[in-house]
Structure 1
Amino acid sequence: MLESSIEQTLSTPFGLAKATIGTYKGKRIAFMPRHGVGHSIPPHLINYRANIWALKELGVQQVLATAAVGSLQLPYKPGSLVLIDSFLDYTKARPSTFFEEGRVVHVDMTDPYCGRLRSIVKGAADELDIPIFDGGTYVCAEGPRFESTAEIRLYQSFGAAVVGMTTIPEVVLAKEAELCYATVCMVTNYGAGISPHPLTHEEVVESMQENVHRIRNLFFHTIERLDTTRDCRCPHAVGGQQPLVGNRDEAQEMDANGNALAQVPSSEGSDRV
């Protein structure tokens, strides 16, 4: 649905990242499949830093992400959409920050998934009559294996809504890059011990493919409702603490037609594995 689209490979301090750049109703869009072509990159090996850095360099300011997740609570049935608002980090071995040697920076995570952007997504869902849970905590596991029944019981006890493998460190890096970032989760299955049968990758992919059109419609309708106004705290998340610097000339070019925005969805299926 993007017009005049081109594929672009960007070099970053963390490696290469690929994106498709195009236009939708006069707005410049960057599309980046985090799992790579053919869903070939497992969640624990995704180069999150290169991806987010590349979006920053492109002039992207607002990011809509998708995630296929398992449900931790019975009300979040397979097929449900969840607009998450917080997270619990249970990853173990992923680089999680841009600020390392010689740069001590502490970024506030009170509102990790931009409340302003989430409100626009929720409004778009209401206009399209797409049911969506407004809020919920995402538990991010390391993967690529599914969670044990004991882990699921622990996450349930926290009151978390869903479990997946991709939001960390992506949401943290987006905040460090001072981007507005929101994630819509598609529930593909119940977690281990809740589901009446063992989990399979095929189950996750099939559920995602059956419902991905709803997220696609939701995102394009959200893009129609977006403008360049960012009166949230995201543009100042780092503030005077040595913020990252993107390519300002490209950022202005991207904004010439309205809004620079990225979608960071799964490629051909699940964000879970």
Structure 2
Amino acid sequence: MYYSADIGVIGGSGLYELSTDVKKIDVDTPYGNPSDQISLVKVGDKTVAFLPRHGKDHTLNPSEINYRANIFALKSLGVKAIISPCCVGSLKFEMKPGDFVISDQFINMTSGRKDTFFEKPKVNHISSAHPYDQNLRALALESGKECGITVHDGGTVIIINGPRFSTVAESRMFAIMGADVVNMTQYPEGYLCMEQDIPVVNIALVTDYDAGLEGHPNISPVTNDAVLAVLKENEEKVKALIFKLIDKLEV
């Protein structure tokens, strides 16, 4: 049976399903299996394909995710846009836990990940100067404000391998490099969307202050328990923003 969807949503830590009223499907790809089954859900007049990035039971660490299979699977369903929420650690005091950042740039610090569809005999080189779609970013910002959520317009996300968190020295280096927030999954996910000509937007929930902030001795380094607590507090906000954005998309 042929299935199709209008919009793809890739759920991150703490977001493993958009709705309980879904149809789960398996999608095969030339790159292996996606992270999990894809859930098809109706949101208004649109069909949304939801895929939990780490698997529904969070069994995949960031470097074990089959990013190519995930993006190819959504592409094969015909999605016209991908919403890519994730959790981030902040490198700036003004980007506080519970805030959202609509990223506009990334810095890749990962290694060993399959990060391109352009392998022989089809080798290609494309610009990734502006990796996140500007129209989607504007709509995401508008959606966040309408939901009463604190959203930051733009931010550079630096992506590390994980699953460990940063040292103080690494966190300091990332800030010097110009990064605003730290994440473990936005590369190659966002870039692979570009290779497949799918506009993508990153909605980043700030869950912590990474390794703490120099000059702020009261801010402690991140712990997994602290991240989970902020996730739980903001789960409904994440969903509200995503649903609002889906409603605004014309696909």
Report the AA paired with residue 73 of structure 2. Answer: A
Q: Does 1:202 align with 2:202?
A: no
TM-aligned CA deviation for residue 196 of structure 1: 3.3
Who is 1:44 aligned against?
63
CA distance in 1, matches of 2:222, 2:41: 37
| CA offset digits 1:179-206 (Å, max 9, x no partner) | 0100111111102142733432111111
1:73-84 mapped onto 2 (5 Å cutoff): 73-84=92-103
Aligned length: 228
Q: Does 1:118 align with 2:137?
A: yes
8 Å contact 1:3–1:24 — kept in the other structure?
no
Who is 1:216 aligned against?
239
SS in 2 for 1:32: strand
8 Å contact 1:2–1:24 — kept in the other structure?
no
1:37-116 mapped onto 2 (5 Å cutoff): 37-116=56-135
1:234-249 mapped onto 2 (5 Å cutoff): none
Query: What TM-score comes out, normalization by structure 1 length?
Result: 0.80
| CA offset digits 1:136-166 (Å, max 9, x no partner) | 0000001111111111111111221100100
Q: Does 1:11 align with 2:28?
A: yes
* Greater length-normalized contact order (CA 8 Å, ≥ 6 residues apart): 1
Query: What TM-score comes out, normalization by structure 2 length?
Result: 0.87
CA distance in 2, matches of 1:126, 1:204: 23
SS in 2 for 1:15: coil
Who is 1:227 aligned against?
250
SS in 2 for 1:138: strand
CA distance in 2, matches of 1:198, 1:219: 29
Structure 2: any 5+ residue segments left out of the alignment? 1-17
Who is 2:176 aligned against?
157
Between the two proteins, what is the percent identity of the paired residues? Answer: 37
CA distance in 1, matches of 2:51, 2:219: 35
CA distance in 1, matches of 2:43, 2:219: 43
TM-aligned CA deviation for residue 101 of structure 1: 1.7
TM-aligned CA deviation for residue 100 of structure 1: 1.1
Is 126-135 or 191-200 further displaced after alignment?
191-200
| CA offset digits 1:56-106 (Å, max 9, x no partner) | 000111011111110011111111110000000000111110111222211
Report the AA paired with residue 239 of structure 2. Answer: R
8 Å contact 1:192–1:199 — kept in the other structure?
yes
8 Å contact 2:209–2:221 — kept in the other structure?
no
8 Å contact 2:210–2:221 — kept in the other structure?
no
CA distance in 1, matches of 2:223, 2:149: 27
CA distance in 1, matches of 2:160, 2:226: 19
| CA offset digits 1:17-36 (Å, max 9, x no partner) | 22001211111110100000
1:138-149 mapped onto 2 (5 Å cutoff): 138-149=157-168
